[in-house]
A and B are shown apart, each in its own frame.
Chain A
Amino acid sequence: MPKIYFDHSATTPLDQWVFEAMKPYFTKDYGNASSMHSFGQIAAKAIDQSRLSIAKFLNCLPEEVIFTSGATEADNIALQGIVKASKINNPHIVTTQIEHPAILEVCRDLEKQGVGVTYVPVTKKGIVKVNDIKRAIKPNTILISVMYVNNEVGTIQPISEIGKLVDQLNTKRKNRIYFHTDAVQAVNYCEMNVNKLGVDLLSISGHKIYGPKGVGVLYIKKNIKLKPIEYGGHHELGIRPGTYNVVGIVGLGRAIELVKVGKKNNQKIKKLRDYLIKEISKKIPNTKVNGDIKNRVASNVNFSFKNAEGESVMLMLDMEGFAVSTGSACSSGSLEPSHVLTSMQIPNDLAHGSLRITLGKQNTKNEVDRLIRILPKIIQRLRQMSPIK
């Protein structure tokens, strides 16, 4: 039975070209990029090259690119680092209710340390309103952090609008507000020019863009004062110490270069996704699509099937070779439905039957057709088992 991967928001397969670019740095060019001898210099050159590619992609300066171990670390440095450097004694952060745990859990911890945090809700379609962000801002607000694309429902947040708002407000404020976005799920699909977005800080991860795991980037606009949260050597301007993950950094640079090439796949991915939505909605009664239908990335669809529990659907699909994911309370460990679906005011019984399918560049119409054939049978079977009809 062929295995079919429909979980590209969880992670993506490593691109063959990325793998090729990384290969020499495992066994041949293994130098420590901080060493002055030739071994080190080869590694240092590779890192410079990657940094340049990323800077070009983001339209920023190379020294504004800080390599991290991934987006979680980038988010941690952004939030904690800004708070640590702030001279305000009761700082306040504005974020949304639908952020990734790499933001939400940092905020919860900062709250324990006395930082004020406002978690702005989103609309039923899963998009935050710029005006709601505006209303949450206080005189002591030092940072706004809003994700670019939501990982569960794929909705695109109004980042450049918030960027404009922050710019406007900053001209009249005593203390400047910084604007951070976790752009992990946006890189393949959205505008990534940091000037157009108006962001001061931006997080990226390698493994969501056909690059390697364990590497990411934090873009930090020049002259922004941010204190490190870990201490060690002088790497990355002292903001993120630690021996360079050369293989990972090379892979990330190559993956970023390929994003442009990959953009031509987006139309194909979108077509497949729209076809999937149309067919599944037709074939399975009581199906709902969660999240704004237009304002979402091409890869994502998030369904809710009434009276079919998401983990069961996912496991039955797994037995048929499909990899997908769910926001059901049963699969969460905490037994609470996904915070994203809850914030969107999706009733618990619908969140219970939620299923996220995220396509990638290698998926084919054949694979989607197989899912369209099999999923209705699975939902029907589970509904037939349910006491609620």
Chain B
Amino acid sequence: MQYSKIVMDHFKNPHNQGVIKNADGVGETGNPMCGDMMKVYIKVKDDKIIDIKFETLGCAAAIACSSILTDMAKGQPLEKAKNISKADIVKKLGNLPTSKIHCSVLAHEALAEAIYNYQSKVIN
């Protein structure tokens, strides 16, 4: 098993890693399979993600997926960000080993959760 250079670069220097103190939306998912946890924080203005940060406990692929996801979502309208699929993440990373595809699912779900969290607050 080997990781692409893009995965390793993100693993070494993850983008947007950290916490947003008063985030507008927070999403957290875990993988019961291997015990990974991912948390995504978003700041929203005019239905756009103006800031995003993540925290992840997991393997190199999980960290790289979180990192690239935040890159892809930053500055995007919520509706577009919602549609970032696991396949998009895998493609952007220059592929993932088969056993690691589920790590991208985690990233996708954490963001979807954060957006849902924000939207449910706005409605109420």
- Which residues on A are within 8 Å of B, measured CB to CB? 307-309, 311-312, 315, 319, 328-331, 333, 335-337, 348-349, 352, 382, 385-388
| A328, A329, A330, A336 — most chain B CB neighbours (10 Å) | A330
B34 to chain A, nearest CB (A): 4
Contact for B33 among A308, A311, A335, CB less than 8 A: A335
Contact for A387 among B33, B57, B60, CB less than 8 A: B57
Task: Write out the residue numbers on chain B whose beta carbons fall within 8 Å of the beta carbon of A308.
Answer: 57
- Which residues on B are within 8 Å of A, measured CB to CB? 1, 11-12, 14, 17, 28, 33-39, 55-63, 99, 102
Given contacts A315-B11, A333-B1, A333-B99, is CB(A387)–CB(B38) below 8 Å? yes
Task: Write out the residue numbers on chain A whose beta carbons fall within 8 Å of the beta carbon of B38.
Answer: 387
Task: Write out the residue numbers on chain B whose beta carbons fall within 8 Å of the beta carbon of A309.
Answer: 35-36, 57-59, 62
B92 to chain A, nearest CB (A): 20
A329 touches B33 (CB 8 A): yes
B58 touches A330 (CB 8 A): yes
B111 to chain A, nearest CB (A): 14
User: In whole angstroms, what is the CA distance A327 to B17 when docked?
Assistant: 26
B55 touches A385 (CB 8 A): yes
Task: Write out the residue numbers on chain B whose beta carbons fall within 8 Å of the beta carbon of A352.
Answer: 34-35
B56 touches A386 (CB 8 A): yes
Task: Write out the residue numbers on chain A whose beta carbons fall within 8 Å of the beta carbon of B12.
Answer: 319
User: In whole angstroms, what is the CA distance A329 to B32 when docked?
Assistant: 11
Task: Write out the residue numbers on chain B whose beta carbons fall within 8 Å of the beta carbon of A329.
Answer: 33-35
Q: A385-B17, A386-B56 are in contact. List 8 more A-B contacts (CB 8 A).
A: A307-B57, A311-B60, A312-B11, A312-B58, A312-B63, A335-B34, A352-B34, A387-B57
A312 touches B35 (CB 8 A): no
A379 to chain B, nearest CB (A): 12
Task: Write out the residue numbers on chain B whose beta carbons fall within 8 Å of the beta carbon of A336.
Answer: 34
A27 to chain B, nearest CB (A): 34
User: In whole angstroms, what is the CA distance A60 to B102 when docked?
Assistant: 52
| B33, B39, B59, B99 — most chain A CB neighbours (10 Å) | B59
Given contacts A309-B57, A309-B58, A312-B60, is CB(A387)–CB(B28) below 8 Å? yes
User: In whole angstroms, what is the CA distance A72 to B58 when docked?
Assistant: 32
User: In whole angstroms, what is the CA distance A329 to B33 when docked?
Assistant: 8
B52 to chain A, nearest CB (A): 14
Task: Write out the residue numbers on chain B whose beta carbons fall within 8 Å of the beta carbon of A330.
Answer: 34, 36, 58-59, 61-62
Closest to A319 in B: B12
Task: Write out the residue numbers on chain A whose beta carbons fall within 8 Å of the beta carbon of B11.
Answer: 312, 315
Closest to B56 in A: A385
User: In whole angstroms, what is the CA distance A309 to B61 when docked?
Assistant: 12
Q: Top 10 A-B pairs ranked by shortest CB distance?
A: A329-B34, A330-B59, A387-B39, A386-B57, A387-B55, A311-B59, A352-B35, A335-B33, A335-B34, A330-B34
User: In whole angstroms, what is the CA distance A329 to B31 when docked?
Assistant: 11
User: In whole angstroms, what is the CA distance A328 to B61 when docked?
Assistant: 14
